[in-house]
Structure 1
Amino acid sequence: MLFTEEELREEITKLEGWKLDNNVMVRKYMFSQYMKGIAFVDEVATISEAFDHHPHITIDYKTVTLRLESNEEDGITALDLRAAHEFNEAFEKNH
């Protein structure tokens, strides 16, 4: 199920650090060390496999950027929001 733009904007405000960029959810995570970012990406991969829903991941030294969208649905779904929440929890736990 896709969200209306208004519903989506409301849901995004509940997720720290996430923003909308042309119907894609985006968050940049900053780390104090390169290897902490790599460890985070490994945890993101584990979470993503459990959900069978994978973000686009960009690693730029100590910055990891995640992009979420549901290609099958051509937009953002509840699964994207749930994954974003889990990624935020992983970041807080290991940051």
Structure 2
Amino acid sequence: MLFTEEELREQISKLEGWKLEDNTMVRKYMFSQYMKGIAFVDEVATISEAFDHHPHITIDYKTVTLRLKSNEEDGITALDIREVHEFNEAFEKNR
């Protein structure tokens, strides 16, 4: 089920680094080394497979950008929020 606009603003405010762009959650993760970003992307892939829900991933040297929404629902759901929490935890381990 999609969040209302108010619920979504509240949820996003609790997520470090995430913002909304065109009905999609977006975060840029910055790394000190290229290979740390690649290790992070590997963890994101593992998390995404477990959720069976995959973000768009862009790698630009030491910056990894994730974009996530529920395409079936055309918006943000509780699944997206749970998943980005895990992405943020993976980032803390890989910085």
Cα distance in 1 between the residues matched to 2:41 and 2:73:
25
- Confirm or deny: 8 A CA contact 2:37 2:94 kept in the other structure: no
Cα distance in 1 between the residues matched to 2:61 and 2:3:
34
Off by >3 Å, runs of 4+ in structure 1: none
CA-atom RMSD in angstroms: 0.5
Cα distance in 1 between the residues matched to 2:94 and 2:74:
32
TM-score where L is the length of structure 2? 0.98
**What are the ranges of 5 or more consecutive residues in structure 2 without an aligned counterpart?**
none
Give the 5 Å matches for 1:40-55.
40-55=40-55
Q: Say how many residue pairs are matched.
A: 95
AA aligned opposite 2:61: Y
Aligned to 1:26: 26
Q: Structure 1 vs Structure 2: percent identity of aligned residues? A: 89
**What are the ranges of 5 or more consecutive residues in structure 1 without an aligned counterpart?**
none
TM-score where L is the length of structure 1? 0.98
